[in-house]
Amino acid sequence: MPIAYLALGSNLGDRIGQMREALSLLEADASLSVFACSSVYQNRAIGMGEADDFLNAVVAVQTELLPLELLDACLSVENELGRVRTDEWAPRTIDLDVLAYEDVVMNGERLHLPHPRIAERDFVAVPLSEVAPSLVVFDKPIKEIVADLPSVDLEFWAEKLR
């Protein structure tokens, strides 16, 4: 089965609880299997003014879903957990992003793979490198992407997703 990597984030309410619930909903989906979870990290909300800090993590899944089907599964989990979409920079109860799917490169209307901002976001690149240390994105090993980040401003969160 193909392997994909998903980012989970939250900056409203019971952040860790919502991320755990999202993980449970993903694990309940028979078409995918979560086989690795990164540590949880806290970071400032970027571009959101005075919004609460985010908690972020990355999970690795094996899935029989195609990339757009996986995106739809993620959107379904977001909806079930009460995600309200207002604008790109709005606070969110839960945020799920498909970061990479095998070696698929896609620039569609709904989904870009690999996620175009992996190399810019420490809160994605660092946990992704934990679950997939040999992953190559944009012709570069993820460990190199992490090393090339201009700065890493993450706080390790002691609680685990599971």
Residue 114: cis peptide before it, omega within 30 degrees of 0: yes
| Residue 122 is a catalytic residue | no
The one catalytic residue among 20, 83, 121, 122 = 83
Single out the catalytic residue among 15, 92, 121, 122: 92
Q: Which of 14, 20, 52, 95 is catalytic?
A: 95
Three-state DSSP class for residue 2: coil
- Dig out the tokens for 95 from the structure: 């945020």
Q: Transcribe 63-130 into DSSP letters.
A: ESS-HHHHHHHHHHHHHHTT---S-TTS--S-EEEEEEETT--EE-SS-EES-TTGGG-HHHHHHHHH
Q: Quick check: is 153 catalytic?
A: no
Catalytic residue among 15, 29, 53, 97: 97
DSSP letters along 72-87, please? HHHHHHHHHTT---S-
Residues with catalytic function? 83, 92, 95, 97
